[in-house]
Amino acid sequence: MPSLPRPNTKLVWIHAASVGEAASVLPVVEEMLNGNAWLQIMVTTGTVTSAMLMEQRLPHRAFHQYVPIDKQEYVEEFIDYWQPDMAIWVESEFWPNLIHTTREWGCPMVLLNARISEESFEKWSKYKNFFRDILDCFDLILPQSREDANKLKALGARKVRYLGNLKYGANALPYDEAELDRLQKMIGKRMVWVAASTHPGEEEQIIKAHLKIKEKSYGVLTVIVPRHPSRGSQIRANMPDWINTSLRSNNEKILDDTDIYIADTLGELGLFYRLSPIVFVGGSLVPHGGHNPIEPAHFECAIVSGPYMDNFSEIMTEFDKAGAVRIATNSTELAQAVFELWHNPQKRKAMSSLAYKHINKKSEVLQNIVDELEQFI
């Protein structure tokens, strides 16, 4: 059920599946609102975590609602109530009833930063006619990479235009300066690195890397920021008793002998990117597809990732060509990369500077995308 009345204005509806997609579209929301005082934007997602993030970060004249279950009667009630003037889907959310009913309502529809994984491409290739019908509902498809553009065209998409990856247009993640100062005072001059957006099966390798680094740099502090904060207590429970841990959700301090600081809170990734000059991008030591390396690049971090970055393959290729990332395939290589970058500040700063310069060269993609969207409203 809706929790708000429909605004008495033009209404753009943006649907994003979860945290990553919702965060990536925030700059679009801001730009569209800045240029159109008569507009309001509704962002729908399907997870509690993304809903909490949107409540924190959506600007004035934008609001969040949960997307309906893809059952015809619920979808019809949703569309009848909100009556959107434009609909934008982000990345790869293909709910047939929702898409076809929105098309029947008659508002323009855009698929933004569209992405098709190899697994999805193989699956949809077996049902090409069905998938082509879905793609034909969109007035415009803006893929996030040339490879995605080719896959979509192979599946029958006809209205494809590649402008670049929307993630390059994102703003730096927010952070609390007072909290940053507090953490820096607790850490002092210790060596510190951040493992961001980690997944099950990955923390074990990060702990091994920590112990290898500790053999050479006794005072090292490893900060683990799990992709899903609710896993914090379980991550701690899986560690050996002799590894000293502090849990952020329990307001536990970083002590002189703290080995692992588990930052299991929501919406604070920007704080930890600012805290450490070295960041490991998680979801990449296990075959999960990786997470966004552009986010730490905004903070001029030296970036390390595992080999499984399939969800960001084009971005990673560009980062690699720019000399802006280092790949580690296991805990030994991860430990070596972090240790070398910490103890070679000149190399670390050169690498982080290359990443920062690279993303700034690409930042014009946001305005190009917004210009394309605004023709429909």
CA 291 to chain centre: 6
Answer for the pair 339, 326: CB distance below 8 angstroms, yes or no.
Answer: no
Q: Write the secondary structure of 324-367 as one string of H (helix), E (strand) and C (coil).
A: CCEECCCHHHHHHHHHHHHHCHHHHHHHHHHHHHHHHHCCCHHH
The whole-angstrom distance between residue 73's C-alpha and the CA centroid of its chain comes to 32
Closest-CA residue to 28 (of 89, 98, 101, 119): 89
**What distance in Å separates the CA atoms of residue 110 and residue 126, rounded to the nearest whole number?**
24
What 3-state DSSP class applies to 154?
helix
Pair 311, 290: CB distance under 8 Å: yes
Q: Three-state SS for 107?
A: coil
- 364 catalytic, yes or no? no
Could you give the residue ranges of the DSSP H alpha helices within 217-279? Answer: 232-237, 269-275
Q: How many angstroms separate the CA atoms of 331 and 286, rounded?
A: 12
- Distance (Å, whole) CA 245 – CA 183: 15
Q: Which residues are catalytic?
A: 21
